[in-house]
Amino acid sequence: MDPFSTMIIEAVEKTKNAVVKIDVYKTIRGKLRPAGSGSGFIFSSDGLIFTNSHVVEGAEKIMITLLNENEVEAILIGKDPATDLAILKIFSHGYSVAKLGAATQLQIGQFVIAIGNPYGYQHTVTTGVVSALGRTLRTQSGRLVDNVIQTDAALNPGNSGGPIITLEGEVVGVNTAIINGAQGLSFSVAIDTAKEIADQLIKNGKVFRASLGISIQEVNVNPKVLRHYHLPNQKGLFVTAIEPDTPASRSQLEEGDIIISFNNKPVNSSHELFKELSKKEILTVTDMSVIRHAQLLNFTIVPKE
């Protein structure tokens, strides 16, 4: 067998026992009936599972099918529609735990593997490459999610909530969306953001988040500009859109600006910005620096919850 196929097989082998099928049930005409399915993966030894918020929305009963075909009921720990993430818990055995990696280490063009249950076909494996990093995506709830990974790995209904992994078998994202009618456009919430969300959901049952009202894309900043202004950055956040009636629209920020500092801290990635917006003390006048046409501009913005 060729070495490349061997690498894929080994990566899937490391993760497949952690991937689960999720079936949700709702009361329809007075009876509890199947009402959709999706994917998820176990990320802790005590049976905690990542999936998508939209997979379990309105569920009255959630059943988990493990790779060994054992079926157990799950409880919902918490969900965050804004990032389309949810945490479930099972009390069972016979599974392994997925190893979580770091999406910050990903490179555009890097090979990735998606595992899930499209249309109920359990443990389907598809492959692709990272097409873009640090995207902003509008979820089914209409909210904007930052730090999204775009790949061309084939995803279909039922893949939602499953992992996207590297050739080392490390989870770098939670598969969340496809664009209907488009081919080769699949999106995953970066595992770094997912870990932050999980931490808040497990501790508090809900997520605190401040908003700026912008769509962003991670980009490289011109090295000459970085040297000229003695900036510590390697990357910045390109503002692709500003939502009306938001903190960004009421500030001096403009579409096309590259954010390089927020709250007096350099920002190289969507995740770094997200971490700052997860602090409750951020709901005040906050400093921001941007590059606009090779000029360094400093101004303030007031994030809102």
State the Cα–Cα distance between residues 254 and 31, nearest whole angstrom. Answer: 53
Name the residue type at position 76.
L
Determine which helix (DSSP H) or strand (DSSP E) holds 202, and give its type and residue range.
Answer: helix 191-204
- CB under 8 Å, gap of 24 or more: what pairs does 218-225 form? 218/133, 218/134, 218/268, 218/269, 218/270, 219/258, 221/258, 221/260, 221/291, 222/294, 225/291, 225/294, 225/296
Catalytic choice (160, 188, 251, 270): 160
Kindly state the tokens that stand for 193: 């953001």
The yes-or-no answer on residue 146 being catalytic is: no
| Ramachandran angles phi, psi of 41, nearest 5° | -150, 145
Nearest one of 16, 57, 12 to 37, comparing CA atoms? 57
The yes-or-no answer on residue 160 being catalytic is: yes
The yes-or-no answer on residue 84 being catalytic is: yes
Catalytic choice (37, 53, 80, 84): 84
State the Cα–Cα distance between residues 299 and 277, nearest whole angstrom. Answer: 17
Helix 270-277 to helix 191-204 angle (10° resolution) is 20
Please give the positions annotated as active site: 54, 84, 160
